Amino acid sequence: MKGESGVDIENWKNKLPEKEREPVEVILNRLEDSELTNKEQAEVISALHSIIPEYPYYHWRHLHQDLHTACNDFYNEKKDYLSAAIEAVKVFENKVQKQTGLHSIDGRELIEQAFGSKNSILLLTNNKTKAEQNLEDGLEQLACGTWTGFRNPVQHELRANLSPSIFNDKDALDLISLVSYLLRKVEQTKKRSKVVSSK
């Protein structure tokens, strides 16, 4: 049964939070006692694994693919949640630099030049109506808030003072999810046809 499913069941269960592991174990135990053939049991295990994978909280967020590449090892394997979040913010910063062409600046200066309704380099909308301008300004504020509220303090604070008491796995996942949203929005932007002057 276990061989046919292609799932290393013990490894899988060890990487599930207790809340999810207990019902998975109940299902697996019932499967072993069922009259299903080994092939049918393997199909059920594969299906169950596909909806409850290892590290389910991480996968259920449907994070941007760039973040899976950059953060997975830190978050899931090393349990270094602070580094996972730092990597996520770096991915975002690099994406903004690439989209704007501003490779020589970073941080808040980069964000303020990239986003917003007034003379930004990137636009998510046509920036004509008040609602569209609010969306542009909101994107700028979310990006600035992510930088100011996370990346900036991390650069100036001892890791031991931040992790894990102030910044734990759930905090990291929330921040990585916010960065995932921001990355998708950046990918939807286009360059403004003319930037009049700096803000």
Higher pLDDT, 162 or 108: 108
Task: Return the pLDDT at 156.
Answer: 63
Average pLDDT over residues 48-65: 90
Same domain, 117 and 45: no
**Is 9 in contact with 32 (CB distance < 8 Å)?**
no
Residue 179 shares a structural domain with residue 110: yes
Write the secondary structure of 72-109 as one string of H (helix), E (strand) and C (coil): HHHHHHCCCHHHHHHHHHHHHHHHHHHHHCCCCCCHHH
Residue 128 lies in a domain: yes
* Over residues 49-68, mean pLDDT: 90
The answer on 14 and 106 residing in a single domain is no
Domain holding 127, by residue range, is 65-191
pLDDT at 57: 85
CB of 122 closer than 8 Å to CB of 195: no
Residues 107 and 151 in one domain: yes
Q: What is the pLDDT of residue 61?
A: 85
The Cα–Cα gap between 112 and 115 comes to 6
Q: Is 199 a domain residue?
A: no
pLDDT at 49: 94
Q: Are residues 94 and 166 in the same domain?
A: yes
Q: 97 in a domain, yes or no?
A: yes
Q: Give 59 or 103, the one with higher predicted confidence.
A: 103
Instruction: Answer yes or no: do 135 and 168 share one domain.
Output: yes
Residues 42 and 111 in one domain: no
154 located within any domain: yes
As a whole number of angstroms, the distance between CA 103 and CA 105 comes to 6
Question: Are both 123 and 149 inside the same structural domain?
Answer: yes
Q: Environment class of residue 141 by beta-carbon count within 10 Å: exposed (0-12), middle (13-18) or buried (19+)?
A: middle
- Banded pLDDT at 93 (limits 50, 70, 90): very high
Continuous segment of H or E residues that includes residue 191: strand 190-191
Band (pLDDT 50/70/90 cuts) for residue 195 is: low
Query: In this predicted model, what pLDDT tens digit does every residue of 146-185 receive, in sequence order?
Result: 988 787 666 666 667 666 667 788 999 999 999 999 999 9
Q: How many domains does the chain have?
A: 2
| Same domain as 127, residue 107 | yes
What pLDDT is stored for residue 1 in this prediction? Answer: 43
Q: In this structure, which amino acid lies at residue 145?
A: G
Say yes or no: 28 and 125 in one domain. Answer: no
What average pLDDT does range 25-43 have in this prediction? 93
